[in-house]
Structure 1
Amino acid sequence: MASDIVIVRVGDASVDFSVHKDILFSVSRFFHRAWDRSFLGVKERIITLRDVSEATFRIFLTWCYSQCLPGTNYGDVLAADNAVSSNVKKPRNKRLFDEYVSGKSPYLRKMAQEEVDKRFHNNPAWHATYQEVVESLVRLYLFAQKYSIDQLQDDVMSTYMGYCVSYGLYPDPDDVDIIELAYANLPATSPLSRYFVLSTVYFWTPVRATLESGKLGRLHKRFILDVMTAQAQRGQPPNKGENSATKLVPNLARYGLENSCTFHEHKSTSEQDCRCRMTNSKFIFDSLLDACVKEAQLKVSKATRN
């Protein structure tokens, strides 16, 4: 059984994780290549990732193992639920958790705005945790992009959008550090960067506190240019063969942010299978978000004690 285990050494502190080899190889071409290279004259069964934090790698492992249903072959860890669900249609009139729902979830829409602000948006403790969850998701997305974990990249995007929809709190220029983190580490065409831009275009209303805080002066210049370009595209009339819902930047958020597949690369699954995956395997996304929330709560708790 020892041959089925890989040691992944993570971070500057060199924390070791024991991972089933077939699970690791099934989710990323990078790990398979790294393993092959490690046996060229090297006896230790170790893959070293110095630039990955222990927290990010733990969340990644949660995602890996959450897909291992009873009876699932490790080699088919990502395909198993898709193969079963590819012929299953999305239930009629049932929204998925990542779909645009007029700015916030039905749960919050039942509350008066004053109650929502008191319990969530204007609650410093809750907001601190929320921001830490977002940072965990963004760092996980960067990890997935760098190490060719294609399905994780799309799953993080779905989870992030679902989290935003749930609380009606979308990315905007107030998230200057998160935007900088993404823009400094992702290619110019990244779907995540595109999500930041469109969320700002559709939802952001400048408030005095932000304007006077100096945050806008620290925004990544490429992000500012992307927002200006998207706003201009949004105001343009549709080209031939387009309409107001299908043009590059639709006029309304319900078309531009309809669901997370808009921001997927779909290298591992088709869009149809992706929607089936979310319909029938929601536990994968729930476990991913739960891992990020626990990590965020731990960080906030430590910061409060210090």
Structure 2
Amino acid sequence: MDLDTVTVRVGEAESAVNITVYRNLLSDVSPYFRGAFEGSFVEAADRFISLTDVTEQTFRMFLQWVHTQVHQHSSGATIPSPVILLPGSTAKNAGNTTTAPVELQPPHHTQSVPDAGFLPDDISALDEMGGHQKRWDIKEIEGLQLKGSEWINGYRLSLLSFLRLYVFADKYNVPQLRDDVLTALTAQSISWWWWPGVDRELMESAYATLPPSSKFIRFLVLSTAYCWLSEPGSCSATRVRAMKEMNEVLAFDVMVVQNERLKETESSEGMPFWLEDAMPNSCTLQEHLARDAAKCRKRIREQPYIFIGLIEMCAQDALSMAKESDEE
């Protein structure tokens, strides 16, 4: 067992903090960190790296995700209620703690053990559009929306938290985290019957920090085209104008999908008309660089707590951001 530690300094200037982490925890999931700490770079000799463009919260969320890869800590098999985004709510098993700080957990793999989150063969995985996983009543979501802006703001902030994790995984080459973020987002959207719409800050941040070919951006484009743009009772022309004013690249990408959808159904070309056909599960968006498609599907079915944990972390991060904003 390799218990060598390294120090990661995250944040800018006075707000930066040093976090001590077992080297293998980083090297096992990221070629970037493996190259930095096991190669001939100065970081390897000093056992120190500075990430000025990463917040402490995002890095600790990343470490918590790493922790779930090597330890069988389940947060249950049920995606939390949308109410989790309201102040005073608590994530399921949020009080669970480890025996040591996350970054100092020994980097050993535990033997797979039976878990409450494992699914029988006749039950779909939590990211399958046509599956039979628990879905919350759409009226509950609409009720939360109608009560005021608090839930909508919490939802928006949670999407920004997902985006920051994805951007971190993209910049520091953590391919499995990129795939897992998309699985968690897909699973949450299916369970809540609520897909991301057009939000200026989210869209601007995504296009500013990710390449246009990013799978996260593709997720937003599909969600916008199939759900937001096609929402009953809305004026598509008005929404297209709003998209163009916000981000012309987004508007173009969405209209390409929309035009492909509306081609003759008899044609073999174009996009499927329904979202569940275009994206039957999150694997249609994933890169599968860390695991192939078959292993990925098995992991999603047998370890749902990984993705539920991401949903819970981003929800709690959103609540923290909302609280900080209220205090300013």
TM-score by length of 1: 0.82
Q: Quote the Cα distance in structure 2 between the aligned partners of 1:248 and 1:271.
A: 23
CA contact under 8 A between 1:233 and 1:249: conserved in structure 2?
Answer: yes
1:50 to 42, 49, 52: 52
The residue that corresponds to 1:98 in the other structure is: 127
The residue that corresponds to 1:74 in the other structure is: 107
Give 3-state SS (helix, strand or coil) of 2:223's partner.
Answer: helix
Give 3-state SS (helix, strand or coil) of 1:6's partner.
Answer: strand
Deviations 1:135-168 (A, max 9, x none): 0001111111111100000000101111222222
Any stretches of 5+ residues in structure 1 without a counterpart? Answer: none
Deviations 1:170-209 (A, max 9, x none): 1222x1221121112222221111111111221123747x
Cα–Cα, structure 1 residues 304 and 258, in superposed 2: closer, same or farther, change >3 Å?
same
Letter in 2 for 1:256: A
Cα–Cα, structure 1 residues 98 and 3, in superposed 2: closer, same or farther, change >3 Å?
closer
Q: Quote the Cα distance in structure 1 between the aligned partners of 2:248 and 2:142.
A: 31
CA contact under 8 A between 1:38 and 1:47: conserved in structure 2?
Answer: no
Q: How many residues align?
A: 286
Deviations 1:60-96 (A, max 9, x none): 01100122226x993768xx76xx99xxx97444222
Give 3-state SS (helix, strand or coil) of 2:21's partner.
Answer: strand
CA contact under 8 A between 2:124 and 2:301: conserved in structure 1?
Answer: no
Give 3-state SS (helix, strand or coil) of 2:311's partner.
Answer: helix
- Larger mean CA deviation between 20-29 and 228-237 belongs to 228-237
The aligned runs of 1:242-257 (5 Å cut-off) are 242=268, 248-257=270-279
Letter in 2 for 1:14: A
Q: Quote the Cα distance in structure 2 between the aligned partners of 1:194 and 1:200.
A: 10
The residue that corresponds to 2:96 in the other structure is: none
Letter in 2 for 1:229: V
Give 3-state SS (helix, strand or coil) of 2:18's partner.
Answer: strand
The residue that corresponds to 1:168 in the other structure is: 193
CA contact under 8 A between 1:176 and 1:218: conserved in structure 2?
Answer: no
Matched, 1:258 2:280: yes
CA contact under 8 A between 1:105 and 1:165: conserved in structure 2?
Answer: no
Q: Which runs of 4+ in 1 moved over 6 A?
A: none
Aligned CA RMSD, in angstroms, stands at 3.3
Cα–Cα, structure 1 residues 31 and 121, in superposed 2: closer, same or farther, change >3 Å?
farther
Matched, 1:29 2:64: no
- Larger mean CA deviation between 37-46 and 272-281 belongs to 37-46
The residue that corresponds to 1:197 in the other structure is: 221
Deviations 1:90-116 (A, max 9, x none): 7444222222259x963315xxx3x43
Cα–Cα, structure 1 residues 75 and 146, in superposed 2: closer, same or farther, change >3 Å?
farther
Q: Quote the Cα distance in structure 2 between the aligned partners of 1:42 and 1:196.
A: 38
CA contact under 8 A between 1:138 and 1:182: conserved in structure 2?
Answer: yes
Q: Quote the Cα distance in structure 2 between the aligned partners of 1:181 and 1:280.
A: 33
The residue that corresponds to 2:260 in the other structure is: 233
CA contact under 8 A between 2:54 and 2:168: conserved in structure 1?
Answer: yes
Deviations 1:248-299 (A, max 9, x none): 5111111112111111000010111111111111111122222211111111
The residue that corresponds to 1:186 in the other structure is: 210
Matched, 1:137 2:159: no
CA contact under 8 A between 1:172 and 1:199: conserved in structure 2?
Answer: yes
Give 3-state SS (helix, strand or coil) of 1:301's partner.
Answer: helix
Deviation (angstroms), 1:54: 1.3
Matched, 1:282 2:304: yes
Deviation (angstroms), 1:46: 0.5
Give 3-state SS (helix, strand or coil) of 2:6's partner.
Answer: strand
Q: Quote the Cα distance in structure 2 between the aligned partners of 1:48 and 1:28.
A: 16
Any stretches of 5+ residues in structure 2 without a counterpart? Answer: 73-104
Q: Quote the Cα distance in structure 2 between the aligned partners of 1:194 and 1:219.
A: 17
Question: Percent identity between the aligned chains?
Answer: 30
The residue that corresponds to 1:156 in the other structure is: 181
Cα–Cα, structure 1 residues 257 and 122, in superposed 2: closer, same or farther, change >3 Å?
farther
Give 3-state SS (helix, strand or coil) of 1:290's partner.
Answer: helix
- Larger mean CA deviation between 36-45 and 54-63 belongs to 36-45
Q: Quote the Cα distance in structure 2 between the aligned partners of 1:207 and 1:239.
A: 27
The residue that corresponds to 2:151 in the other structure is: 126
Q: Quote the Cα distance in structure 2 between the aligned partners of 1:105 and 1:183.
A: 33
Letter in 1 for 2:28: S
- Higher normalized helix content (fraction of residues): 1
Q: Quote the Cα distance in structure 2 between the aligned partners of 1:234 and 1:289.
A: 30
Q: Quote the Cα distance in structure 1 between the aligned partners of 2:250 and 2:157.
A: 21
